[in-house]
Chain A
Amino acid sequence: MIDLVLIGLTRFIVGGQAQWIGASPETRQRIYFANHASHLDTLLIWSALPRPLRGTTHPIAAADYWGRGKVRRHIALKVLNAVLVDRATQGPPGAALAPLRGVLAEGESLVLFPEGTRGTERLPGPFKSGLYWLSQEFPEVELIPTYLDNPSRAFPKGTFLPVPISCTVRFGAPLLRRPGEEKEAFLERARAAVGALASDPVL
């Protein structure tokens, strides 16, 4: 019930049409990695996925936003199937990835925002290394570059209310792993794959 209301609201305010450009909506294990521009992003990708995929795909959401407040927390965990991660985690490198590994080990899919924080530009900023480690540890999981068009305009950083501006979710062709590729080169290639899905700007 809540999920239908959420999808209806998302469609009404920001649209959120899915465009499957290089991949088709299949129920295979995937990591969708996307540019991050607003708090709408999690909701947008979740509502753009067809129903059968929604249940087995887990967006990674920041605990300091989605975990705050009873309602928001309930929506994040019970409706969006999100995995909450604490961005301030201290400890050995890669420790923050533990809950993500858990999801992949169970055979389910992930939605990642490798920039780690919301950007304001059209093209994504530098990626953090989590995507690289996960792609190494789970070599059979498909890596789908995903571009979110417009959420930074609909709901810019530092505002309280989204305005009605149509957003689209574009799913690109799977990023193939190259044997022996360095971490930096892989992350740069992943970032370029997301950026390549952006449309030309109107001036």
Chain B
Amino acid sequence: MSLTDKLFILFGGICALLGIASAIGFALSRKVTSENGRATVDNLNARIKAWWVMVAIFALSFGLGRGVTVVLFALTSFYTLREFISLTPTRGADHLPLVAAFYVLLPLQYWLIWTDWYALFTILIPVYGFLLLPSLAALKGDAEQFLLRVSRIQWGLMLTVYCISHAPALLTLDIPGRPREGFLLLFFLITVAQFSDVMQYVFGKLFGRTKVAPVVSPSKTVEGLVGGGLTAVAAGAGLWWITPFTPLGAAAMALAIVAMGFLGGLSLSAVKRSMGVKDWGTTISGHGGVLDRMDSLSFAAPVFFHLTRYFYT
């Protein structure tokens, strides 16, 4: 089976799943009567609609190749960093570090993926960004809350640019005997991470009782986490045939993605809570901001990248 054949089957499968979800959403919208239930179902249907759009965007970029896919993730980093910085208080003296973050480090990080410069890709932001940003801030001579300010910008960059960029970096991995199959690894990562989020939401809504972290994220439940997580691990194992992993290996990889994704969602909920907001933005109808959809992926991508790189290349 060629790569194109596999991608057709995979995106076909996703469309079938979404078709079922849309049908269920439609049936629910005709059945529901209570006001509370109406709000939940409306939000569910807005989410499903947004999923159609997101899947279409990814399918298109995969079809158009590596360059477009790298650009798509660069734009994702741009939007998530914009959302992060917009909610994070900054001062006038932070302007220069922000210019460097948005207009120099972000494009450079993705250019390094495009040219496959692995050594610099892994240290650009954690080492050189780490040294550059406080220097630029200090040159402005404003010491007010200095450590807090530079930490916030560095953290935002690590999360939204460095971590997320590890997803398209899968396209640079050279797996023996499997040329150009980075797309399938990327598909595996995104599908498992997002499917886990969706199934945790579904199991949580249906069976959720025990809250995992009531203070940080009131919507996360043990029932949702276990049910959704196990379903996503099973889905990951079922996708073993598109990866270099064995079925058991694929299950283990999926488990790592699910675990990191859960921790990412939890950590970013804590960040949102500390800022007094519920969502990162309003860009994706029903979901909130782009970062609300990318939180789990940003924690899962670097771990999945390194596990794959260490064990399979």
Contact = CB atoms under 8 A, between A and B. Distances in A.
A164 B102 contact: yes
Given A156-B92, A202-B275, A202-B276, A164 B85 contact: yes
B98 to A, nearest CB: 4
Contacts of B98: 163, 165
Interface string B63-83: 000000000000000100111
Contact of B86 (A120, A157, A159, A165): A165
B229 interface: no
Count chain B CB atoms within 10 A of each CB in A120, A150, A153, A158 and give the residue with the most. A153
A121 to B, nearest CB: 11
B199 to A, nearest CB: 31
Contacts of B90: 153, 165
Given A202-B87, A202-B276, A165 B92 contact: no
A4 interface: no
Main secondary structure of the interface of A (DSSP, over half): loop
A166 interface: yes
B85 A165 contact: yes
A161 interface: yes
Contacts of A202: 87-89, 275-276
Interface in A165-183: 165-166
A102 interface: no
B85 A201 contact: no
Contacts of A88: none
B29 to A, nearest CB: 28
B103 interface: yes
A164 B156 CA distance: 13
B95 A156 contact: yes
Nearest to A201: B89
B60 interface: no
Interface in B140-194: none
B25 interface: no
A166 B98 CA distance: 14
A166 B79 CA distance: 10
A165 B276 contact: no
B97 to A, nearest CB: 9
Interface in A59-76: none
A185 interface: no
Interface in A36-61: none
Contacts of B138: none
B99 A150 contact: no
Contacts of A161: 99, 103
A203 B103 CA distance: 26
Contact of B281 (A120, A157, A166, A203): A166
A168 to B, nearest CB: 10
B99 A203 contact: no
A120 B92 contact: yes
Contact of B95 (A163, A164, A166, A201): A163
A17 B82 CA distance: 14
A201 B157 CA distance: 23
A163 B99 contact: yes
B82 A165 contact: yes
A203 B82 contact: no
Contacts of A153: 90
A24 to B, nearest CB: 20
A200 B277 CA distance: 12
A153 to B, nearest CB: 6
Interface in B258-295: 275-276, 281-282
Given A156-B95, A159-B95, A164 B87 contact: no
Given A156-B92, A202-B89, A203-B89, A164 B275 contact: no
A164 B78 contact: yes
A156 B88 CA distance: 16
A178 B81 CA distance: 46
Nearest to B148: A203
Nearest to B103: A161
Contacts of B99: 161, 163
Interface of B: 78, 81-83, 85-90, 92, 95, 98-99, 102-103, 275-276, 281-282
18 contacts: A120-B92, A150-B86, A156-B92, A158-B92, A161-B99, A161-B103, A163-B85, A163-B95, A163-B98, A163-B99, A163-B102, A163-B103, A164-B78, A164-B82, A164-B85, A165-B98, A166-B82, A202-B89
Interface of A: 15, 17, 120, 150, 153, 156-159, 161, 163-166, 200-203
Which 6 residue pairs across A and B have the least CB separation, nearest first? A166-B86, A164-B82, A163-B98, A156-B92, A165-B86, A159-B95
